[in-house]
Structure 1
Amino acid sequence: MWPFEAFLVVHITTGAVGLILFWIPTIGKKGSPTHRKFGMLFSRLMMVTASMAIGMASTTLLAPLDTHPKQVALNWPQSRIEGIFGWMMLYLAILTIQLVWHGVVTIRNKKHHLANRHWGNVALNVFTIFAALVCAYRGWLIDEGLMMAFSIVGVASGLTNLWFIYTDEPRRIAYQLEHVKAIVGSGISVYTAFMAFGFVRLSPGQALNPRMWAIPLVVGLVIIIYHQARIRIAFMRHRQVSASAKA
């Protein structure tokens, strides 16, 4: 139990701080020193949080009954504990790392697009797709629709990231759009895990309530759509002003 509890303490600490800081770059002025400072701090905290989640998932798979006594008391079968708190948590952690990394490198490499094709970057996206498919398969084995449904996010994220990476000449705004999608997406992933897995300790029987999983997804999608719309509008206005100046 002690390794699991140690991973959990760090996971909760860094995750809670990171998810508070998430709103500073999300709401604040884009591109400002404050945005860059707290955005990078958020990204680093999410990397630590996700790494701890990998540790929690791994210890769960090694000792599912010892690490989740409340679920045992509720007569959860071992296969379900392994599926939800092992395979699904492992997948969400990998997805979070992939999203954060993609969000950082798309801005870092906006003047050197070919750098996005580094083998490590490509491999991370391929591995995320693989983890999503494993999660879906494990969900199918225990007839857990939530695991199969959320695996779609990882497959879609990996494929769209690879599409961007192997686009020869992305539009200038593509880097900003990818950055917003990935960073806010990582916030959705971690908020989802906190509301779902964290809720287990308050009310174990409600751990898989679809509402707990849907709230961060809906809020996050609204944020992504809003900011991407602002980016597109600003880009169009800039082009119109440039065209008028040339005329």
Structure 2
Amino acid sequence: MEFMFMVARWFHVLGGFLALCVFWVPIVTKKGRKTHRRSGWVYVVAMSIVSISALYMGIYRLALDPSFHAEDVPFSWFLIFIAILSGGAVWYGLRVLRYKRRRNTHKHVIDLFFPILLLTFGIAISIYGWMIDFPLLKFFPIIGVFLGGIQLQYWLSAPTRRSHWIVEHIIGMLSCCIATVTAFAVFGAPRLLQIESVSLIIWVIPILIFAPLIFGFTNYYTNKMDGKRSAS
């Protein structure tokens, strides 16, 4: 089991490094073009590896690791939450493209499962964070609650704007970027720099960076595609 954990960790590191290298390419390239699509798929594959390996490592630490210490519990739950957040966000970003021509509500079980999981798990982890007075778990899961609610509302509502799919695609993928950079800031960078702890502000910097990008891109495409008529 320890060998499998080491394999998962190496996959996690390599997938995370690849995601950090390519996540900006789809952001700056023209949407729908070959470079955007190819780099986007590379990012999706990388984040899938990151999400699956993070989920495995978090569960392993909590349930199977004989050398596990109590002080590691909060970070293991954070790792699991990041896995759900990043995996759910990238899945959502892909599925809104798959069903971009829909005109009615969408109730596929798999597409409702992820936002419900993200919403409920985010609430549970936040409550847990308050119970143990752990700032990272108090506030960061609010992102999951917010995104889970947005995704559920989108799937359970009939589209009313032409731009609905591209707006939600941007929200999904850039939300995944938030998870990527936050995980690196909290876990990766301190270990590379041999820093024992990081300030709370480091945890929220990715949100401060990507939230304006999400707002800017969604506002641009909403105005561009909905300027004259709506989806209905």
TM-score > 0.5, shorter chain as reference:
yes
Larger-Rg structure:
1
Query: Which letter does structure 2 place at the counterpart of 1:130?
Result: T
Aligned residues: 227
Partner Cα distance (2:132, 2:226) in 1: 49
1:98 matched to 2:99? The reply is: no
Matches within 5 A, 1:173-212: 173-201=163-191, 202-207=193-198, 209-212=199-202
Matches within 5 A, 1:1-247: 1-62=2-63, 66=67, 78-84=69-75, 86-112=76-102, 116-201=106-191, 202-207=193-198, 209-237=199-227, 239=228
Distance 1:197 1:65, change over 3 A: farther
Could you tell me the TM-score, scaled by structure 2's length?
0.90
Q: 1:115: how far off?
A: 7.9
Point out where structure 1 has 5 or more consecutive residues left out of the alignment: 68-77, 241-247
SS at structure 2 position matched to 1:30: coil
Distance 1:116 1:13, change over 3 A: farther
SS at structure 1 position matched to 2:31: coil
CA contact (8 A) 2:105 2:156 kept: no
Partner Cα distance (2:207, 2:164) in 1: 22
Identical residues among aligned pairs (%)? 24
Query: Over the residues paired in the alignment, what is the CA RMSD in angstroms?
Result: 2.0
In the TM superposition, structure 1's runs of 4+ consecutive aligned residues that sit over 3 Å from their partners are 63-67, 113-116
CA contact (8 A) 2:161 2:226 kept: no
Point out where structure 2 has 5 or more consecutive residues left out of the alignment: none
Could you tell me the TM-score, scaled by structure 1's length?
0.85
Q: 1:138: how far off?
A: 2.4
Query: Which letter does structure 2 place at the counterpart of 1:21?
Result: V
Partner Cα distance (1:103, 1:128) in 2: 15
CA contact (8 A) 1:64 1:82 kept: no
CA contact (8 A) 1:50 1:97 kept: yes
